[in-house]
Chain A
Amino acid sequence: MERKRFFSTFVLTAIAVMMIQAQEVKVPLRFDFYYSYEQVVDALKALNKAYPGLTSLDQVGKSEEGRIIWALTINNPKTGDPMSKPGVYADGNIHGNEIQAGEVCLYLANRLLTNYGKLKEITEVVDRNAFYIIPVVNVDGRAHFFEDANTPSTSRGLSIPVDDDRDGLFDEDGPDDLDGDGNISTMRIRDTLGRYRSDPQDPRLMIAVKPGEKGEWTRLGQEGIDNDGDGQVNEDGEGYIDGNRNWGYNWQPPYVQRGAGNYPFEGSGIRAIAEWMLARQNIILVFAFHNNGGMYLRGPSFKSAGELPQGDIAVYDYLGNNIEKIVPGYEYQITWKDLYTTYGDFTDFTNNLVGSYSMVGELFQTETETYDGSFRRKEEEGRSRFGEASESERQRLQFNDRVTQGELYSEWKPFKHPLYGDVELGGWVKLSSRLPHPFMLQDLVHRNASAVIFAARNTPKITMDVFEVKKLNGDLWSVRVRLVNEGAMPSVTYETLKNKLYPPDVLSVSGRNAKVISGGKLTDIYTGKVDYKEYKPQVQLCQVPGLGKIEYQFLVSGRGDIDVKFVSVKAGTKTETVALKEK
């Protein structure tokens, strides 16, 4: 997928150079610039090198263009193997252009590692969980976003060509960087019959003409030429297969879901990540970072899924309502209801097939780019009314002029177009609009990484207590076990139990010289009511609710020691050996 250029561009402009500096990557990592794909890899390697005892680096898979997708695992081996702990997964940049999502993941890793042993809460959260961090999912997309000319919204999909205009050729006519400035901006042409005129307050903006008014401009769309000579401009650009519509849960074909790909997991990197995650079923918490809008979204992503089980909603609400406070201005929402319906979505996949609480963080709000003294504009002010420029756009231009000294906007300039003749090129540059200027990046990555750390504190935290061994008669003993969960998340999600994705947790009692005669859940500890299990009483299938407890009673015949064992896919294993004797 070579991006054709009208002019050979060999130098990125000063603007881009300032923002993407050739930084030497050192730990602690810096967050005042954006990391290229190679720099992300360097950063992960540097963290791994600086913290060899706490981290390991995995090659999860390869992209269509052969770039490696890296994962950093943070785990303290002294507190156990990763699979014996709740797994916390965070990724970003599944859309190639949404680059600050990668920085949030890097910041999370950097924050956890550089403060391990210093801050009590971070030490505890690292000791108790295994963190899996994939900063860049769409590695090709990120690389091309940096290397090629783009708009803030392009280089989003996977590197799989699609014949958008159905002429038998693939990706043959995308936009072109006509002025060689590293951005794909907008083209406009003077036209008295056009539908736009310049905004009298800021002539850089175009506003729609009112009926009866004379026009000044016609918008010609993105910068580009008719590469394939078919009479259309930019009609068959990159892809488009959207990495976040290609997952194998509730997937629908492209005629239903744009960008779905021909089949689930057509993206080689997407499939590799799916398999990597399915091999780590301890993952109970997933964050996927995107831009933009300032939202934390939970599923379902489609209405017909119905509502999630009540027990899971309670967990999501607890996380979501707290995250809204950790990241001010961001709203906790439900994908299909508050955003739009999607099929083949990543977090639906992880919620249902990995069995994890899964949220999407939509990073950055353009309303924070202000020049009127307010920290953040109200949404209503941003809305453009018919025939008027939006106050929000005017503000952003002033923000560009006075706060970023013109870095974010490319002024209109004339250009001789081979098809249209005299046109003008201009508009918001690639590194604008959907991502914060680097001076605002530190705040964004810290608050959003803090959201993950807060959630990670609420993974299941189970303690087991054999709190009663009582002789009933002869060799017959009553053994009571209590499982307590101090985390907000249950030991296995309600969705997992509903779907029978895998077995619930297993509580078992065994002993060389002992036999479990009966056993079951103790439903009333005072009256001693027990739901006895008719078969195999020595094995009880259970779930420990979030911030709650469950109690079991076993009638054991025999003598000597017995082993009480709790095994959970997500919450690890607890064992206790007790003697059948009166305390």
Chain B
Amino acid sequence: MRKTVKPAMRGFFLLIAFLMVSSGDVSAIDRYSDPVTVNQRIEQIRQSSPALVKVHKMAVTPGGREMLMLEIGKSGSTMPAVLVAANMSGTTPLATEAALSLASRIVADRKMQEGHTWYILPLGNPDAFARYFQKPLYLDVANGTPFNDDTDELTDEDGYNDLNGDGIITQMRVKAHDGIWIPVEGEPRLMRKADAVKGEKGIYKLYTEGIDDDGDGKYNEDAPGGTDVNINFPHLFKSFGRRSGLFPGSTPEADALIKFAFKHPELAMVISFGKTNFLLSPPQGGRQGSYDTENIRIPEEIGKQMGLDVSRRYKMSEIIEMVQPMMPPGMTADESMIASFLGLGAVVNPMKEDLDFYNEISSNYKEYLKKKGVTAERFDPAQPEDGSFELWAYYHLGLPVFTMDLWGVPKPKEEKKDGSGITVEALEKMSSSEFLELGEDKITAFLKERGAPEQYNAKMAMTMVRNGQVSPAQMAGMIKQMPAPKSDGKKGDPKETALLAFLDSHTPGQGFVDWKPFTHPTLGEVEIGGIVPFSDNTPPAAMADSLLDLHLPYIAELVSRLPVLHLAEVKATDKGGGVYEIEAWVANSGYLPWPTAMGKRNKTPAPAILILEGEDIKILSGYKRTPVNAVGGMKSEKHTWLIVAPKRASLTLKLESSQAGRDTKRINIGG
């Protein structure tokens, strides 16, 4: 399917490629590990400490590769566990390095083994990742499932073609009457869109490098594969998306991970290495669709049947009260029943209480980086995709999820800060009155910088905040979901410019393929060139060690914040007549709440149970097994029982939580 260049020419290109590799530094490709090597390294880690490490075969990918998971720890499922999943999209080599390095660090560090079991998946999308080590080099999140991207009569028939034989798929630019691209002023290697409103005429059309293999007039529109494992999860799954798969869990890699998570109720935290970074940029709200439990609109057709006023808004508790008498005996109306009956849908924005700890940990992480001497600013990490692993782990498992991208394109230092002086991060933390105090001019300047649509002006924003229709944090969320602002039109995309500057200084000649003429079989005279794939998310391998040394120690800090439940105090009070009141304080000595607010909402985390046992006792009030539903971070909760006990009795109270630990206390009566 992929047409090859003439043999004689190929020989010539191979020679050039050979000279380039041998003359330069060790290239990134030689250093990051391919899927086969990753599995060998996983096995080596196991062999280094066979008593501590197990390897689980999770799945065989559609491309026939084994997806392996490391289990580190002696306690198995009896201890709370941390799940680390890396490189779910198969396009982040540093993420896999980080997971392997973390595993080795845990094996070497007794402290890290205490208190939890680790499950580490270093490579979640082996098929896609294999491309990084193949020629020609191109980035695609697709695994090996065949997929007919262009829904024509053939599947996987028109992939990229390495026309100039440099082993890299870059771009083709061709002069055309209907071209919309022009070179960036001062940096003609980069392209930007011409702005006809400003009197600019487009010159070039841009294509990815390749030919029209199937003769349908389109270029590279149906490359081999497949499904992006990273977006094959059930939260906000995109049906019929280009790489999302047929249904959540349709691909064996994601299916295995989903099933794994529900077989392991001891999972207490998820860490993911990949494209996003919740430590720098906590999960964001502002998405439409999440319903407010205090403000529910009842659909007209249902309201009429129930005889309700559909013009007013209801609280969930009110609806439950109204519906309960209509329920058949023995059935209780609860939120999930009402939500599904009214078609209210799923939570799509992070719960407010959870954002509190996300923001606090984010500031702490930024402080940590400062202390480590990191001063350079970087471009914002990517936002999580719909259907992604990390969103699912938060919204469906209800776990605290922290993600790291470990590196980002550095921002040029000379960036001026005149203008509004407001950042989205600052906006997020502002109260409504602080926002209004900024004044119209500053807000106008800020909205302009962020490229807000013209009809969304400062006056309107201020009115909405004043009326409580939107909070500054929600506004920040909305702004973050807008496309990145185009700064000065003539300078092109600032991130591309900065990336090029970084590549020129760190890997001169390797990060960018200079535009060179080429005679294309159907497009005629074109130029081939552009930024080398992966250079915007993968630093040169030589930087990997120092980046991992910088970021991985922070994992210990994250894990130290896990909730820990214990029985702070248990006592019995004699009420007379053989009746005793048992009082127990369940305390969470960890920083993080147990469970998260999202976990409270979705009721997925297994309950913590208090079990009161004793010979010859009778419980008058309370239950033998009492669920503890939630204890906030650094908070305690009291439980009481009334019992009748003989004069001398010994009771035990057990606390069992698969996510947050176990504890037992003995209570002696009359002793």
A: which residues have CB within 8 A of B? 163, 165-169, 186, 219-222, 228-231, 234, 248-258, 262-266, 274, 278, 302-304, 336-337, 340-343, 349, 352-353, 499-504, 506, 508, 534-536, 539, 541, 567
Contacts and interface: CB of A to CB of B under 8 A. Distances in A.
Contacts of A264: 234, 247-249
Contacts of A254: 336, 602-604
B466 interface: no
B607 A166 contact: yes
A506 B626 CA distance: 63
A256 B396 CA distance: 11
Contacts of B299: 303
A259 to B, nearest CB: 9
> Which 8 pairs from chain A and chain B are nearest by CB?
A248-B247, A221-B330, A341-B343, A535-B217, A168-B609, A166-B607, A255-B602, A219-B329
Nearest to B250: A248
Contacts of A165: 627
Nearest to A340: B341
A506 B248 CA distance: 29
Interface stretch (B123-131, B145-153, B186-194, B417-425): B145-153
Nearest to A219: B329
A431 B234 CA distance: 38
B442 interface: no
B656 A168 contact: yes
B498 interface: no
B607 A503 contact: no
A473 to B, nearest CB: 26
A274 B247 CA distance: 11
A263 B248 CA distance: 8
A501 B340 contact: no
B623 interface: yes
Contacts, number: 141
Interface string B602-626: 1110110100000000000001111
A303 B603 contact: no
Given A501-B240, A535-B216, A353 B246 contact: yes
A221 B214 CA distance: 67
Interface string B231-261: 0001001011000001111100000001100
Given A221-B330, A248-B249, 20 more contacts: A166-B629, A229-B624, A248-B248, A251-B234, A253-B604, A254-B604, A255-B604, A256-B346, A258-B340, A263-B259, A264-B247, A264-B249, A265-B249, A303-B299, A341-B341, A500-B240, A502-B148, A503-B152, A534-B217, A536-B215
Which of the four size classes fits the interface of chain B? Answer: 35 or more
A250 B249 CA distance: 13
B351 interface: no
12 contacts: A163-B606, A166-B629, A167-B607, A167-B625, A168-B607, A229-B624, A251-B247, A255-B336, A255-B603, A263-B259, A500-B240, A536-B215
Given A168-B625, A501-B240, A256 B345 contact: yes
A419 B341 CA distance: 34
Interface in B191-220: 214-217
Contacts of A255: 335-336, 339, 346, 601-604
A536 B336 CA distance: 53
A168 B340 contact: no
Interface of B: 148, 151-153, 214-217, 234, 237, 239-240, 246-250, 258-259, 262, 299, 301, 329-330, 335-337, 339-346, 395-396, 601-604, 606-607, 609, 623-627, 629, 656
The secondary structure that dominates the B interface is loop
Contacts of B247: 248-249, 251, 264-265, 274, 349, 353
Given A255-B336, A534-B217, A541-B153, A168 B606 contact: yes
B138 to A, nearest CB: 23
A231 B623 contact: yes
B345 A304 contact: yes
A536 B262 contact: no
A341 B214 CA distance: 44
A539 B214 CA distance: 12
Contact of B248 (A219, A230, A251, A500): A251
Nearest to B299: A303
Contacts of B342: 341
B603 A222 contact: no
Contacts of B339: 255-256
A67 B606 CA distance: 29
A278 B234 CA distance: 19
Contacts of A234: 330
Contacts of A343: 340
Given A248-B246, A251-B248, A263-B249, A302 B343 contact: yes
Contacts of A220: 329
A352 B239 contact: yes
Contact of B153 (A251, A258, A539): A539
A229 B619 CA distance: 10
Nearest to A342: B340
Contacts of A337: 301
Most buried by B among A230, A256, A534: A256
A263 B258 contact: yes
A262 B346 contact: no
Contacts of A567: 153
A231 B343 CA distance: 33
B336 A258 contact: yes
B662 to A, nearest CB: 12
Nearest to B240: A499
A353 B609 CA distance: 42
A539 B247 CA distance: 30
Given A253-B346, A265-B249, A506-B153, A166 B148 contact: no
A221 B329 contact: yes
B362 to A, nearest CB: 27
A126 to B, nearest CB: 31
Contacts of B623: 167, 230-231
Nearest to A256: B346
A536 B337 CA distance: 53
A249 B234 CA distance: 10
Given A229-B624, A304-B345, A535-B215, A253 B234 contact: yes
A166 B153 contact: no
A166 B240 contact: no
Contacts of A503: 148, 151-153
A226 to B, nearest CB: 11
Given A352-B239, A500-B151, A504-B151, A252 B346 contact: yes
Nearest to B247: A248
Nearest to A222: B330
A409 to B, nearest CB: 18
B546 to A, nearest CB: 39
A167 B300 CA distance: 38
B250 to A, nearest CB: 7
A59 to B, nearest CB: 22
